[in-house]
């Protein structure tokens, strides 16, 4: 929906996504009464407030595309929006009367969004602006990080700039054949509580020969759709927070795999997480098997190692030589003990990547699974966290069978499942689905290794 006052879009209907909050029906992106964009023109002489100007408009429908043109009969300014039927973006062209000296289009981004989420506060926490310098990575500014009136500048040249909520975005991209944006200026808005619901951002676009152009994207923060637009536009929705340099590569791989699985299996994401968890466990099976058997062999030679340490406790050099001899006789090394940690460490990047992916990935929003209405939200009945904690305890208990008693290991047997259960209580239920499947799938292997360990023990 457009308004003739300011020649700007007032709202954007997203029929493919439904509101999950107090309202029902499809998501309608709007700024709570403000237009989604505000236009001003800065010249050497003054600033023209196009957002206060009333325009006339005409619509032209051609084959596969529609063009909406707004004209200002007094100032001679035109703003046109062209949307092809198969396009992801709207092409916007602004034409102003020729001026002497430099001129810039000051493009105001949305000052806020009405929430469509069940957890409104969480949605408000994600309100932010972001921009991508041409030669650097994207940088973001959350509404709540700025005090009222506080200013922050994102210097250019910029490839794109966006305003976004948790799942939805209004973004402007510099066309490949146009001059990049000069900069983005952000000003903090008023606060209704500890969280800010309003802010202001202005993208400065050079006007060349009386013309400026940009592409407008209004829609979900879909990794696949945004990536298709190029310019690393998908990084407008970063993963990992301050850990982004480490998490982002793993999150990208996880998203690629999940999207491929979605197209291949045509299943809901809840079942895909089950398959994904099983697949990870199958891939790691040989590594786990090798590490666990190495642990058994290490346990078997412990009496011999302890005897060497006792025999040569006054001669450290001889002690080290004899220890190395024992390891070599059994085809092992002092680093064999570390190999047992590897299977536990390898899945962790995937786990943390999923943790951040679930925080604001539109693909998981509103997806039901069994009793869960939305796998991107916590389990309201807390069934999954409790069962996951119980499965961790069972897995650890099986792993400690037929092993020498260790007070520290016994303490961790009870501590770790409890801590992990508390962590999962407030995280996305989809993360619990993935991890629970991993834990259950590991039980048969852990049981087999425990039996091998029992058989390997010397007779009493």
Per-residue pLDDT of the chain (460 residues; tens, 9 = 90+): 888 898 899 988 888 888 887 677 888 888 767 889 999 999 887 888 888 888 998 998 887 788 999 998 777 899 999 988 767 789 999 999 887 788 999 999 999 898 888 888 888 888 999 999 998 888 999 998 899 999 999 998 999 999 999 999 999 999 987 889 999 999 998 877 777 888 999 999 999 988 999 999 999 999 888 988 988 999 898 887 777 788 888 888 888 899 999 999 989 999 999 999 999 888 888 777 776 666 666 766 667 767 777 777 777 777 777 777 777 776 666 655 555 555 666 677 888 888 888 888 898 998 999 999 899 989 999 999 999 999 888 887 877 766 666 666 667 777 888 888 899 998 999 999 999 998 898 888 778 777 766 665 655 5
**Residue 75: domain span:** 2-238
Same domain, 53 and 201: yes
Last residue of a domain, one of 195, 223, 238: 238
Look at residue 257 and tell me if it is in a domain: no
Using CA atoms, how far residue 170 sits from 90, 233, 264, 420, in Å, is 11, 12, 30, 37
Same domain, 151 and 293: no
Q: What is the pLDDT of residue 322?
A: 74
pTM for this structure?
0.82
Backbone phi, then psi, for 361, in 5-degree steps?
-100, 120
Q: What is the pLDDT of residue 56?
A: 92
Q: What is the pLDDT of residue 445?
A: 77
Look at residue 436 and tell me if it is in a domain: yes
Look at residue 77 and tell me if it is in a domain: yes
Evaluate whether 237 touches 224 at the Cβ level (below 8 Å).
no
CATH number of residue 82's parent domain:
2.70.98.90
Q: What radius of gyration do the chain's Cα atoms show? A: 29
Same domain, 350 and 316: yes
Same domain, 221 and 316: no
Same domain, 30 and 165: yes
Same domain, 269 and 136: no
Q: What is the pLDDT of residue 207?
A: 92
Last residue of a domain, one of 193, 220, 238: 238
Q: What is the pLDDT of residue 130?
A: 94
Look at residue 373 and tell me if it is in a domain: yes
Measured at the CA of 112, the angle between CA 109 and CA 114, to 5 degrees, comes to: 130
Q: What is the pLDDT of residue 293?
A: 67
Same domain, 399 and 297: yes
Look at residue 269 and tell me if it is in a domain: yes
Same domain, 9 and 57: yes
Cα–Cα distance, 25 to 156 (Å, whole number): 39
Same domain, 209 and 289: no
Same domain, 322 and 378: yes
Q: Tokens in use for 97?
A: 């009367």
Q: What is the pLDDT of residue 335?
A: 58
Task: Give the count of domains, the chain.
Answer: 2
Look at residue 251 and tell me if it is in a domain: no
Last residue of a domain, one of 223, 238, 253: 238
Look at residue 433 and tell me if it is in a domain: yes
Cα–Cα distance, 118 to 124 (Å, whole number): 12
Using CA atoms, how far residue 168 sits from 162, 232, 362, 374, in Å, is 10, 17, 8, 17
Same domain, 368 and 408: yes
Same domain, 227 and 268: no
Look at residue 247 and tell me if it is in a domain: no
């Amino acid at each position: 929906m457009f308004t003739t006052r300011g020649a700007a879009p007032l709202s954007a209907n997203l029929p493919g996504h439904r509101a999950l909050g107090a309202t029902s029906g499809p998501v309608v992106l709007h700024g709570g009464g403000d237009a989604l964009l505000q236009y001003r023109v800065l010249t050497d002489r003054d600033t023209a407030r196009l957002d206060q100007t009333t325009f006339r408009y005409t619509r032209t429908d051609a084959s596969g595309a529609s063009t909406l043109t707004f004209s200002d009969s007094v100032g001679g300014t035109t703003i046109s929006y062209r949307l092809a039927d198969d396009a992801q973006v709207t092409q916007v062209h602004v034409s102003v009367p020729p001026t002497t000296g430099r001129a810039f289009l000051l493009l105001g981004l949305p000052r806020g969004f009405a929430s469509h989420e069940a957890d409104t506060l969480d949605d408000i926490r994600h309100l932010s602006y972001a921009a991508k310098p041409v030669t650097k990575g994207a940088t973001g500014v959350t509404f709540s990080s700025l005090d009222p009136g506080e200013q922050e500048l994102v210097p250019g040249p910029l490839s794109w700039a966006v305003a976004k909520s948790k799942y939805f975005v209004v973004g402007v991209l510099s066309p490949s054949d146009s001059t990049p944006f000069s900069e983005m200026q952000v000003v903090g808005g008023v606060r209704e509580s500890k969280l800010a619901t309003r802010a202001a951002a202005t993208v400065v676009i050079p006007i060349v020969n009386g013309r400026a152009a940009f592409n407008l994207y209004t829609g979900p923060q879909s990794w696949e759709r945004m990536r298709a637009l190029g310019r690393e536009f998908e990084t407008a929705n970063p993963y990992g927070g301050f850990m982004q340099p480490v998490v982002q590569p793993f999150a990208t791989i996880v998203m690629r795999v999940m999207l491929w699985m979605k197209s291949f299996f045509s299943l809901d994401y809840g079942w895909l997480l089950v398959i994904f968890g099983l697949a990870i466990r199958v891939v790691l099976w040989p590594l786990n098997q090798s590490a666990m058997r190495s642990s058994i062999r290490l346990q078997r030679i412990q009496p011999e190692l302890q005897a060497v340490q006792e025999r040569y406790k006054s001669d450290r050099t001889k002690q080290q030589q004899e220890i190395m001899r024992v390891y070599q006789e059994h085809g092992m090394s002092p680093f064999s003990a570390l190999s047992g940690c590897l299977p536990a460490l390898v899945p962790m990047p995937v786990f943390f990547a999923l943790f951040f992916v679930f925080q604001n990935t539109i693909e998981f929003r509103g997806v039901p699974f069994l009793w869960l209405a939305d796998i991107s939200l916590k389990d309201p009945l807390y069934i999954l966290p409790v069962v996951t904690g119980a499965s961790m305890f069972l897995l650890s208990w099986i792993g400690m069978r037929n092993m020498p008693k260790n007070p520290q290991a016994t303490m961790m047997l009870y501590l770790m499942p409890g801590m992990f259960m508390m962590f999962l209580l407030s995280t996305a239920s989809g993360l619990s689905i993935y991890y629970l499947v991993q834990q259950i799938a590991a039980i048969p292997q852990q049981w087999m290794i425990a039996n091998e360990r029992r058989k390997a023990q010397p007779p009493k």
